[in-house]
Amino acid sequence: MCGIIGFCGYLDAKDVLLKGLAELEYRGYDSAGIACFTKDGIKTIRAVGKVANLANRLPAELESGCGIGHTRWATHGGVSEQNAHPHSCGKVTLIHNGIIENYHELAKELEETGRLPVSQTDTEIAAMLIDSFYEGDALSAIKKAVSRLEGAYAFCILFSDQKDAIYCIRKGSPLVACQSEEGCVVASDMVALLRYSKEYFVLPEFQVAKLTKHSITVTDLDGEPVAPVMLGIHWDMSAAQKNGFKHYMLKEIHEQPEALRRTIAPRMKKGEFLLPDFTEDGIPDKLFLDAKRIVIAACGTAMHAGLIGKILMERLLRLPVSVEIASEFRYADPILDEHSLVILVSQSGETADTLAALRLAKEKGAKTLSVVNVKGSSIARESDYVLYTHAGPEIAVASTKAYTAQLAAFYLLVLRFAYSMGKLSEQEVSSYMEELAAVGGHMEQVLEQKDTIKELSKRLTPSHDLFFIGRSLDYALAAEGSIKLKEISYIHSEAYAAGELKHGTLSLITGGVPVIALATQEDVFPKMISNVKEVRARGAMVVLITKEDNNAAIEQGICSEHLIIPAGNDMFAPFSAAVYLQLIAYYTSMYRGLDVDQPRNLAKSVTVE
């Protein structure tokens, strides 16, 4: 949450900061602000709302080569200009991503020194605290302040008497930095660095980076130099742009077949038969052979990918698997030991609850494997093993290509380990791998149905409530369809196990209520069709999704709309069915005139609890 950027160099700082903030805006968009060194000292400008509002406020004559910028997702204090970052106190001006948990106690202490906040934010208290320790030595003030701060933070700090220098420190919240001929840049994530460099580093926790026009120095809190570990950037600028699509979400939906290829291809080694290979990822067979229990912990869409993973693993590995919401898991005192394998799933690799779940799992002696999209992110760095999804940058808040890439990662893991555990033969694993390689093509076929979905979505636009139903893998997918729809269309929706409807929810099904029924799983198909008839009998407007090979079994009048995915093994149906659900959410939001890419109250990367 919150996007932060700092620049020191030979370009116009306000341009660099505005571009960076636009690229980081998906992390929060309640307000935005910048502070720059000018010939008249530090100038701060802030605005409520999106970065575009801030851009309209910036005076053209603002000349600077060094400054910091922030786009906010409100935690402490409402959405107002007063609460927008940067915040200043005395000689200190800073921006912050995170939450200072003991700010109330610190505020009381600082009040005694005559420092009174003007905002309701925890961030201003951090600025006051650093200023209270500052006597000309930035490092010493930061060190003293950090010893008092509890919670998570990434700070970029300006000291008014240290012109054209930015100091940065972090704990929990991310910060990455790079240097180029044009200057030095620090940001919350690598997307904002793409235009400047092909190399960057992650600032280690509790170490201080000092950016000047021509260098970045990193030291520990005692001033001892530290050499940061450089990482390569494999994404290019175009990967983070809309490339002719109206929204990032639509672009990312279309990118899925290619994203899947990037997840699957590096692990698809052709030998005598097709078998996923994780040699380059460094994931040994032993990891699964030793496991007696698997726990998948994640949040939101990533957790929904885990629901599919659980079904696959239990089915093919015959190991007990549970899927845990990371924010619950971390406080639940879970039963884990050295025979437990905990799989963390996260697009950003920075989700605070998932990171905490990982740390807890390690503390309890479990082995950890993360399925992550963003290279070098905290979850990736701290896990014992990482499987990168390589889906490319995902900018829309609603996750699409990251989700299907996470699914692909689960299929690869399950197929490899089912083989190494002796549960699948060479022939079986090969044939499943062929099916997996074909799902990109199936998704393309669904993408061709865009116009049908547009029309359907127009009809869904006035709905107040909508239900997704399914069984088995379809139920797991229904959960994803529901979150997608509600997060961007603001229509209330629920995902229900179809067999559970009659235990309460059926009372909500009345004339015209839309029900999206997923019936792609052969073993439960007749049961599912009975459930569809039950809602139809109550007047629901049913959108039925089935496989091509089930066409004959669909009776006339059973649904208002019948959407078909290509024929194939049921186990792989979630990929193409997911595209229908994503398109429905996308077009419904669009026809409602909403901000598809940046839905209200949400942010892409949830780095606070």
- Where do contacts with ligand AGP occur on this chain (CB under 6 A)? 299-302, 346-348, 351, 354, 397-399, 487, 605-606
DSSP 334: -
Work out how close the CB of 414 gets to ligand AGP at its nearest, in angstroms, rounded to a whole number. 20
**The tokens 């419904």 sit on which residue?**
588
Work out how close the CB of 299 gets to ligand AGP at its nearest, in angstroms, rounded to a whole number. 4
Catalytic: 2?
A: yes
Work out how close the CB of 267 gets to ligand AGP at its nearest, in angstroms, rounded to a whole number. 20
Work out how close the CB of 249 gets to ligand AGP at its nearest, in angstroms, rounded to a whole number. 9
**The tokens 């890439």 sit on which residue?**
405
The single residue of 2, 8, 36, 178 carrying the catalytic annotation is: 2
- CB count in 10 Å sphere of residue 335: 9
Provide the residue type at 530 as one letter.
Answer: S
Cβ proximity to ligand AGP: between 391 and 573 the closer is 391
Cβ proximity to ligand AGP: between 351 and 576 the closer is 351
Cis, peptide link before residue 86, omega less than 30° from 0: yes
Cβ proximity to ligand AGP: between 399 and 531 the closer is 399
Residue 308 burial (10 A CB sphere; 0-12, 13-18, 19+):
buried
Cβ proximity to ligand AGP: between 123 and 482 the closer is 482
Cα 23 to Cα 53: distance, rounded to the nearest angstrom: 15
Work out how close the CB of 30 gets to ligand AGP at its nearest, in angstroms, rounded to a whole number. 16
Q: Is 232 helix (H, G, I), strand (E, B) or coil?
A: strand
Work out how close the CB of 593 gets to ligand AGP at its nearest, in angstroms, rounded to a whole number. 20
Closest CA to 226 of 202, 244, 246, 249: 202
DSSP 270: E
- CB count in 10 Å sphere of residue 235: 17
Cβ proximity to ligand AGP: between 299 and 380 the closer is 299
Token pair listed for 136: 């000309």
Work out how close the CB of 1 gets to ligand AGP at its nearest, in angstroms, rounded to a whole number. 10
The single residue of 91, 210, 484, 604 carrying the catalytic annotation is: 604
Taking the CA atoms of the chain, what radius of gyration do you get in angstroms?
25
Give the residue nearest to ligand AGP (CB).
300
Cα 180 to Cα 195: distance, rounded to the nearest angstrom: 10
Tell me the CA distances in angstroms from 587 to 496, 590, 596, one per residue in order.
23, 5, 9
- CB count in 10 Å sphere of residue 384: 17
- CB count in 10 Å sphere of residue 198: 14
Q: Cβ distance 362 to 385 under 8 Å?
A: no
Cβ proximity to ligand AGP: between 372 and 498 the closer is 372
DSSP 180: E
**H/E element holding 535?**
helix 525-537
Cβ proximity to ligand AGP: between 4 and 84 the closer is 4
Cis, peptide link before residue 228, omega less than 30° from 0: no
**H/E element holding 231?**
strand 230-232
- 478-513 in b/e form (b: 16+ CB < 10 A) is bbbbbbbbbbbbebebebbbbeebeeeebeebeeeb
- CB count in 10 Å sphere of residue 429: 22
Work out how close the CB of 33 gets to ligand AGP at its nearest, in angstroms, rounded to a whole number. 25
- In sequence order, the 6+-apart residues with CB closer than 8 A to the CB of 362 are 368, 382, 384
Work out how close the CB of 369 gets to ligand AGP at its nearest, in angstroms, rounded to a whole number. 15
Cβ proximity to ligand AGP: between 91 and 330 the closer is 330
Cβ proximity to ligand AGP: between 1 and 216 the closer is 1
**Catalytic residue set:** 2, 604
